[in-house]
Chain A
Amino acid sequence: MTLKTGVYICHCGSNIARTVDVKQVTEYNATLDSVEVARDYLYMCSDLGQELIKNDIKELGLDRVVVASCSPRMHELTFRKACAEGGLNPYLYTHANIREHCSWVHRDGDLATEKAKDLIRASVRRVCHQEPLEVKEVPVNPDTLIVGGGIAGITAALKIAASENRVYLVEREPSIGGRMSQLDMTFPTLDCSECILTPKMTDVGNNPYIDLMASSEIEEVSGYVGNFKVKIRKKARFVTEKCTACGDCVKACPVEVPSEFEEGLNKRKAIYIPFAQSIPNKYVISRNETPPCKLACPIGMDIQGYLALVSVGKFQEAYQLLRRTNPLPSVCGRVCYHPCEDSCKRAYIDEPLAINSLKRFIADEVNVEQIEVPQITPNGHSVAVIGSGPAGLSAAHDLALLGYGVTIFEALSEAGGMLRVGIPEYRLPRDVLRKDIGYIQKLGVVIKTGTRIGEQVTLDDLERDYEAVFIATGAHESLRLKIPGEETLEIIPGVDFLRTVNMGRKVEITDRVVVIGGGNTAIDCARVARRLGAAEVHVICLESRDGMPAGSDEIEQAEAEGVIIHCSHTVTRIVSDDGHINGVECLDVRSFEFDEEGGVNIDTIQGSEHIVPAGTVILAIGQRPEIPGQFDLSLGRGNTIQVTPDTLSTSRDRVFAGGDVVTGPAKVIEAIAAGKRAARSIDSYLKGEILDIEERPAPERLSDQEIAELQELHPAQKRVEMPQLAPAQRIGDFTEVERGYTIDQAQEEAARCLACGGCCDCLECEKVCEPEAIDHNMKDELIEVEVGSIIVATGYDDFDPGVISEYGYGKYDNVITALEFERLSCAAGPTSGEILLKDGRKPESVAIIHCVGSRDQNYHEYCSRVCCMYALKDAYLIREHTGAEVYQMYIDMRCFGEGYEEFYKRLCEKGIHFIRGKVSSVTDHALAEEEKGKLIVTCEDTLIGSMLRVPVDMVILCIALEPRSDAEQVARLFNISRRPDGFFQERHLKLDPVATPTSGIFVIGCCGGPRDISDTVAQALGGAGEALAMIGKGSVTLEAAVAAVSADTCIGCGRCTEVCEFHSPEVVKDEKGMPVCQVNEVICQGCGACAVACPTGAMSIRHFTDEQILSTVDALVEV
């Protein structure tokens, strides 16, 4: 059968005909095979043009149609429809683009004409291979998703809801309102922004058809037009619907952070609503990542919490918070090596918070003996703990709180372990330790002192009498040096020395003492020796000064007390005379390293032998545990007990171990952590539960950019020094050296905390919340909704003017952004609407710099469209409120909207100075008397052609509107594209301004480019109209150009299923049981990946078959 094709060539007025010789092209086309008729017409898309086609189909019996006109993206659908109306299947039509691809891009008429002929010839060839296709109609889900709750999203939501169809309005921030809620007055009418916005916000909150999800973000979008599936993450607000917005929680919250809504001009609490009229009117707790101090703490203390409570004077509450994680707060506040301080972010600015000193302050400030202990219900189970050091006490404390009956067996006559006998009293006074132990005893823990397990009582006895045993006997046996003289002479082991002194017994020492070792024990021995009257004390250690294991504070204090430290030295022998020690012989050390067995290889400097004279030698090079053989436990290196690290269980059933006895000598806080872990492990073991292992990541180092941001945000402020006894006073006795903060000092220091975690988990808000609306354990919620269309209204970001360093933003206090000015002039803002300089004075002169980041090749080339007008409005407000002189430095005044030009004229009459020119710099470098104390704006006035220096008090920067920083991810999420400027692209700039190339997804407002409120609202109504049109029709047509399988040639290999991103094809069994592919046409997007991948050619895309495309190619390359 011969096909009859009609070819129609459009002049498009003169758009095509001016370049392409339409008549010649028409004549040429008439000669082509299959062409029945070729016509040209002035406007083929007009009704008359379309009628031509329809008539020809009917009268000439055309069975193929080609139109050559503008881009098919413009009118392909128009002509398909015309064909259908003429009675021809619309897929038997092809479009040749001879305007955008030909007449508009080529100047040479002959070449353009030839090209037009080629393009039409190829279309005629192609159309002959096209097949009739049927389109599928699918129902449209009448619900709509709107992403972004600014004025655009609000307007669209209300309009759609007015039709009584459901709208899901998703807003990332805790309240809707967007940028408009931050504005003071709106141009040109000077309406109060909040006054016209908040009634709309309330309507959204009250509308039964609007499902408002604040603090929520879109996670995933799938499906297709009319039938999208959307996953939404509702972020935990930590405050439930029960909240009545009474605000009591705000008074209780001790944490202050910069307010985002107020552009950082003042502070808000960690529990807050962004502004008074927030919708939803429910409070929210802002929580950042876990603060580094908490991550670094081996027991994960709520450090930021107790610092915040100290800063507001809630010392009792702070103590309770300490106790939540730390069983020995008074002890820890004195002896902890505070890894938290090493990770404190404040250290990037000046010095870390004095966390440990503040902890001590809290513990000292409350009377521990009067603190009520919690009510405990005994659970009837019993646990024995061997050793009353920090590990044993901590395990006992936590187990007692869980209801266990706990008995601690202590070999010495007093409880405390190393805390009691290893740490000198000037660092940890006895009564402080006694108070912490006393509290634990009040919990019901029984401490049996003077009971060494292995002597009167055996481990077997404990195993029999208790359900579990925790061994925490520490490491009390001094290591030996193995050098000549060590065995025969009276060398004093360090821990023995400290124990004897700490137990109040006398130790004989000479006037000159040598302590060997570089750890805390060595330093403690040296300082004790000074206090016992030794005139000269030398510490000799292998390590360099920086490598010494002792805390740097301890070393400094020791040196202040006259202790002489010899670093990088090794002792080779004890020098003696007739059994009396005369000193030690040392060698200088170049380097050393520990081998795998724990031995040490030392590279000494030959010939550096020298003698340090001394009558007493104390050896403090480390300790190891003493484990009685009858314990019958697997032991590891250094005589330590081997345990499973997570559970601390030993080789004996029901016996656990932790602290120094497992790790060798370590820090107090690590022993406490081990005790706490043991308590959890024993509890889960006895309950037959699986132990929930806590994993805390290590704090990460900040990037250079993060550090710069911190430094910009927070001014430096030195830490409050801990008052100490003068060195001369110290060596007289064992009085505590560090005296502790006063209340004022503590509050001043605590206020330095940056509150990096947001909410500090102090739970003060929970205590005051009457409706019990606060839930600190709330988790994010993932919900899925199904919608027919999606309206994207995600708004814009402000340009950061700090990158234009010449303008001094961030450097000079009174250089502010226009948005900061909005907050300053707003009656509800931080200054109650007073336009003030940072020092509280009223400005006498203000410069407003236009186009900061816009119309600038270095940043954004586009015009931000709203700045000229708000600059005029700002000028008006400044004149009204302060009477200050106002200078507008502009490039062009663009006042194009309704009433805008009139507003501009009014302002011109108000005595505002207009200077046309781009500002080159803002500085405080005064050259003349009248410039002193001012900001000098340097600018060329291009109208008079001279450079100006304008001294002012305040500079307002009209910053560009720019695409959201996450616009790229959002574009991918919704499968929409972006223009080169980064904003979302509309389907057609003029004629289809809110649709996107992806059917069913619309963009409105500033996410599609800078717009003022009026234009944004108009767009929002446009978007609502698009969605309502779909809902009204109730169905959409799906693309017919989707994949199709030829069952004859498909071998069911599944290559198509591997390449398809949409899971459309799947391999199924045919009636003979053979594998064959099947396409789900509703899901198929028609991309063609499967057709390329198919090895047999069984898979093809309808309307884009190989035959159709190859016939086009063949026609185009023909001579």
Chain B
Amino acid sequence: MTDFEPLIIAFACNWCSYAASDVAGTSRSYYPANVRIVRVMCSGMVDPTYILRALAGGADGVLIAGCRPGDCHYISGNTKAEKMVERMKILLHRLGLENERLRLQWISSGEGGLFARTIEEMVDRLKELGPSPLKEGKGKGA
């Protein structure tokens, strides 16, 4: 299991977290290459099916990254995302998935370091958890 490399799909809000991931780049905040970022206009745009599809398709973890509370470009998209993630965690639990495979993180647009740190933490934790049980032999690191 030591050479297991988890795959993370990150849905990043255009205004804050995607900008933060750019800042991570411009400030050369290195992080593991296990993440693939999908740009969405708002964390509140992330439909539960996107998460399920990513996990069912072979991702080991999903990150939803949005603006800090009160900073949403669309007023309340991030709080909608927060509620959705709460509900999804219950569903994932019923499917036998660990809680930490889905993570919601508020990252404001300047916080490149926080973006990099979040990925590092997630990768470390997913390595401990091992491949997603939904994967059935699929996926990058399996």
Known pairs A106-B30, A1061-B76, A1109-B38; A1117 contacts B70 (CB<8 A): no
Contacting pair A1061 B75 (CB below 8 A): yes
Whether the pair B46, A1092 counts as a contact (CB closer than 8 A) is yes
The interface centre, meaning the residue of B42, B58, B139 with most chain A CB atoms within 10 A of its CB, is B42
Question: Which one of A105, A971, A972, A1114 lies within 8 Å of B24 (CB-CB)?
Answer: A105
Bound Cα distance from A99 to B28, whole angstroms: 11
Contact A1119 B140 (CB under 8 A): yes
Are A1113 and B9 closer than 8 Å at their CB atoms? yes
Contact present for A104 and B25 (CB under 8 Å): yes
Given A1087-B41, A1117-B57, does the pair A111, B33 have CB atoms closer than 8 Å?
Answer: yes
Which of B7, B24, B44 interacts with A100 by CB under 8 Å? B24
Is the pair A1109, B50 in contact by a Cβ cutoff of 8 Å? yes
Interface string of B17-49 (1 = CB under 8 A from A): 011011011101111110011111110111101
Cβ contact within 8 Å between A1086 and B36: no
Which residues on A sit within 8 Å (CB–CB) of B29? 105
Q: Which residues on B sit within 8 Å (CB–CB) of A1106?
A: 47, 49-50
B44 touches A1088 (CB 8 A): yes
Q: How many residues of A contact B (CB 8 A)?
A: 55
A107 CB, nearest partner CB in chain B, Å: 6
- From B9, B40, B73, B76, contact of A975 by CB (8 A): B73
Inter-subunit contact B73/A997 (CB<8 Å): yes
Known: A115-B36, A1104-B40, A1116-B38. A1089 touches B45 (CB 8 A): yes
Determine the distance from Cα of A474 to Cα of B22 in the docked complex, in whole angstroms.
Answer: 80
CB of B84 to closest CB in A, whole Å: 7
The chain A residue sitting closest to B58, CB to CB, is: A1117
State which of B24, B45, B57 has its C-beta within 8 Å of the C-beta of A1088: B45
In the complex, are the beta carbons of A106 and B44 less than 8 A apart? no
With a cutoff of 8 Å between Cβ atoms, the chain B residues found around residue A74 in the complex are: 22
A457 interface contact, C-beta 8 A: no
Q: How far is the CB of B38 from chain A (nearest CB, A)?
A: 6
Q: With contacts A997-B109, A1113-B50 known, is A1087 near B38, CB below 8 A?
A: no
Q: Chain A residues with Cβ under 8 A from B41's Cβ?
A: 1041, 1086-1088, 1101, 1104
Please give me the residue from chain A that is nearest to B119 by CB atom: A105
- The answer to whether B80 and A1059 touch across the interface, beta carbons within 8 angstroms, is yes
State whether A1092 touches B58 (Cβ < 8 A): no
- Interface residues on chain B, size class: 35 or more
A286 to chain B, nearest CB (A): 31
| A1117 in complex: contacting residue of B67, B84, B139, CB < 8 Å | B139
Q: Which of A102, A107, A1089 has the most CB of B within 10 A?
A: A1089
Question: Among the listed stretches A743-751, A915-923, A976-984, A1014-1022, which one makes contact with chain B, having 4 or more residues with CB under 8 Å of it?
Answer: A976-984
Query: With A and B bound together, what is the CA distance between A299 and B30 in angstroms?
Result: 70
> Which B residues, 123 to 142, have Cβ-Cβ distances below 8 Å to chain A?
138-140
Residue-wise, chain A 304-338 has the 8 Å CB interface mask toward B (1 for contact) of: 00000000000000000000000000000000000
Q: Which of B9, B16, B70 contacts A1116 (CB 8 A)?
A: B9
List the B side residues contacting A1086 at CB < 8 Å: 41
The distance in angstroms between the C-alpha atoms of A1106 and B50, with both chains bound, is 8
**Is A1118 located at the chain interface by the 8 A CB criterion?**
yes
Which partner residue on chain B sits nearest A72 by CB separation? B39
Q: Tell me whether A1119 and B139 are in contact (CB under 8 A).
A: yes
Assess the A73–B70 pair: CB atoms within 8 A: no
CA distance A74 to B30 in the complex (A): 20
Q: Are B40 and A1109 in contact (CB under 8 A)?
A: yes
B116 at the binding interface (Cβ < 8 Å): yes
Residues of B within 8 A of A105 (CB): 24-25, 28-31, 33, 116
For residue A451, give the distance in angstroms from its CB to the closest CB of chain B: 70
Complex partner residue of B19 from A107, A997, A1085, A1109, CB under 8 angstroms: A997
| Residue B98, interface by CB 8 Å | no
Asked if residues A108 and B33 are in contact (CB atoms below 8 Å), the reply is yes
How far, in angstroms, from A1088 to B39 measured CA to CA in the complex?
13
Least CB distance from A456 to B in Å reads: 74
Q: Report how far A972 CA is from B69 CA in the complex, Å.
A: 11
Q: Determine how close the nearest CB of chain B comes to the CB of A258; give it in whole angstroms.
A: 34
A235 within 8 A of B: no
Q: Is the CB of A1061 within 8 A of B74?
A: yes
Q: Which of A1051-1068 contact B (CB under 8 A)?
A: 1059, 1061-1062
Instruction: Judge if A573 is at the interface, Cβ distance under 8 Å.
Output: no
Q: Verify B16–A122 contact, CB threshold 8 A.
A: no
Cβ-based interface call for A985 (8 A): yes
A977 touches B15 (CB 8 A): yes
* Residues on A with beta carbons closer than 8 Å to the beta carbon of B110: 979-980, 985
A976-1015 CB contact bits vs B (8 Å, 1 = yes)?
Answer: 0111100001000000000001100000000000000000
In this assembly, does B97 line the interface, its C-beta being within 8 Å of a C-beta of chain A? Answer: no
Q: How far is the CA of A115 from the CA of B111 in the complex (A)?
A: 23
Pairwise interchain contact A1087-B42, C-beta atoms closer than 8 A:
yes
Residue interface mask A693-726, B partner, CB < 8 A = 1: 0000000000000000000000000000000000
Partner of A1089, one of B71, B80, B140: B80
| B92 at interface, CB cutoff 8 A | no
A 1090-1119 binary contact with B (CB < 8 Å = 1; else 0):
011000000001001010011011101111
Residue of A nearest to B59 (CB): A1117
Assess the A1088–B42 pair: CB atoms within 8 A.
yes
Our pick among B30, B33, B46 for the contact of A115 (Cβ within 8 Å) is B33
Asked whether A978 lies within 8 Å of B108 as measured between CB atoms, the reply is: yes
Q: Does A118 contact B (CB under 8 A)?
A: yes
Q: Which residues of A contact B22 (CB under 8 A)?
A: 71, 73-74, 97, 100-101
> In the bound complex, do residue B45 and residue A977 qualify as a contact, i.e. CB atoms below 8 Å apart?
no
Contact B84 A1110 (CB under 8 A): no
B50 proximity list for chain A (CB < 8 A): 1106, 1109-1110, 1113
Q: Which residues of B contact A1117 (CB under 8 A)?
A: 7, 9, 54, 57-59, 139
| Additional A-B contact list (11), CB under 8 Å, known A73-B18, A1087-B74, A1104-B41 | A100-B25, A101-B22, A106-B31, A122-B36, A975-B73, A1085-B74, A1088-B42, A1091-B47, A1092-B44, A1116-B9, A1116-B54
Q: Can you list 29 contacts pairing A with B, beta carbon distance less than 8 Å?
A: A73-B18, A100-B21, A101-B21, A102-B33, A106-B31, A106-B33, A111-B33, A114-B33, A118-B36, A971-B71, A975-B73, A977-B67, A980-B110, A997-B19, A1061-B75, A1087-B41, A1087-B77, A1088-B40, A1089-B44, A1091-B45, A1092-B45, A1092-B80, A1106-B47, A1106-B49, A1106-B50, A1113-B57, A1114-B53, A1114-B57, A1117-B9
Ranked nearest first, the 5 interchain pairs of A and B with the lowest CB-CB distance are A100-B25, A1088-B45, A1087-B74, A1117-B57, A104-B25
